[in-house]
Amino acid sequence: MNRRACFAPVLVCVVLTWLMNGALSVNASGRDDVQEAKSSTNRTVWDGVYTEKQAERGNTQYAQACASCHADDLRGKSTAPSLVEESFAFLWDDATVGELFERTQRLMPSDRPNSLPAATYREIVAFILQSNKFPPGEKELDAEVAKLKQILITSKKPEGK
């Protein structure tokens, strides 16, 4: 009887350890996957993703190529939507800067799409981000669209930013 009393807890322990190891390793790899998915878009427009200079150049370009339809203050007119505030958030929240860049390049100016150099589209996107009060930073928007697709647009200001 003594022997059984001693033995049973050991067995339980061995089985439990085995189960937990299995469960934990599943958990761990699950967590890795989540982290991987997150790290591909772990930057947001609140992280200072364009420079002030880039946005300034964008301002000039916007005035020449976009303001005739979207208005000087970016609030849009007739069928051209506002590119700031709620309507910007409505259109672009949860998309990425890369998508904003690509759509703008592919569709705008609507009377002559894709007619500007890629660098000019980046400058204009920087200006649009600035106009939506996302902060400037040390580095310009990357020339690689894949990198821009890792930057999430979100109007929700994270804590401490």
129: contact with ligand HEC by CB under 6 A: no
Contact 97, 125 (CB under 8 A): yes
Which of 31/77 has CB closer to ligand HEC? 77
149: contact with ligand HEC by CB under 6 A: no
Among 45, 55, 65, 153, binds ligand HEC (CB under 6 A): 65
60: contact with ligand HEC by CB under 6 A: no
1-29 as b/e: b if 16+ CB within 10 A: eeeeeeeeeeeeeeeeeeeeeeeeeeeee
Determine the Cα–Cα distance for residues 148 and 122; give it in Å rounded to an integer.
10
Contact 151, 43 (CB under 8 A): yes
49: contact with ligand HEC by CB under 6 A: no
Contact 55, 47 (CB under 8 A): no
Among 79, 138, 158, 160, binds ligand HEC (CB under 6 A): 79
27: contact with ligand HEC by CB under 6 A: no
66: contact with ligand HEC by CB under 6 A: yes
**Where along the sequence are the contacts to ligand HEC (CB under 6 A)?**
65-66, 68-70, 79-81, 83, 91, 103-104, 107-111, 124
